[in-house]
Amino acid sequence: MTSVPTPIPSRTQFVLEEIKRRILTGRLTPGQALVEAELAAQFGVSKTPVREALKTLAGTGLVVMSQYKGVTVRMVDADMAREVYDVRLLLEPEALRRTVRRNASLDAARDALERADAADDTAERSLANREFHRALYLPCGNPLLGRMLDEVRDQAALVSAVAWASSPSWEREAGEHREILRLALGGDADGAARALHDHIASFVRRAFPDTAGDQGEEA
């Protein structure tokens, strides 16, 4: 009989998603210690699913495991932002260009944009914005490209959470999202890709001015 990969236990998945949500919405801040016993008590589970969840989050770059400091939420600085956004600038506009040229459905992107506009709090808006970007690149026709962008997705969201905490810019970014989607729905692959590139580059320049020389020039 062929063996089937063992899925992540439900308790571990629950803990993983909840810790991630708290990090990406600012409830857990960069540098904050994540103590297994405390988290286990909060979630009503043993330390084992917490430990496994933290290992997974370390693999995605959201937390850091240190022999001396234990587990902490990853710190965000200009160097980290530059690394993550360099990858996005190289890959995400091209993925969107391919999505549009394939005439792939953008219904999920439209739905995510509507959820972001209707969000009652920062957490809901942040999660909807993440889904909007993913809905643009995921139908690009290259699963590997989609997975590569997924790998930096959480780290990009962490950068955004830190930036929004100090300088909220929801309205500006919502307007840019609407323009990107308008171009994409109109079949303008190159225009949508340029608008997305400018959107990503301008955000990181505003949030981390030290990266300005590395993010290209605005159109």
Q: What is the token pair recorded at 102?
A: 């394939």
Q: What is the tens place of the pLDDT at every residue in 2-38?
A: 444 445 568 899 999 999 988 887 889 889 999 999 9
Q: Is 65 left (phi over 0), alpha (psi -120 to 50) or beta?
A: beta
Higher-confidence residue of 54 and 173: namely 54
What pLDDT is attached to residue 120?
A: 79
pTM exceeds 0.85, yes or no: no
What pLDDT is attached to residue 216?
A: 44
> CA 118 to CA 116: how far, in whole Å?
5
Mean pLDDT over residues 46-53, rounded? 94
**DSSP per residue, 24-61:** HTTSS-TT-B--HHHHHHHHTS-HHHHHHHHHHHHHHT
Q: What is the tens place of the pLDDT at every residue in 126-183?
A: 788 889 999 999 999 999 999 999 989 888 888 887 777 666 666 788 899 999 999 9
In 3D, which of 67, 35, 66 has the Cα closest to residue 51? 35
pLDDT surpasses 50 at 106: yes
What pLDDT is attached to residue 21?
A: 87
* Burial tier of 209 (Cβ tally within 10 Å: 0-12, 13-18, 19+): exposed
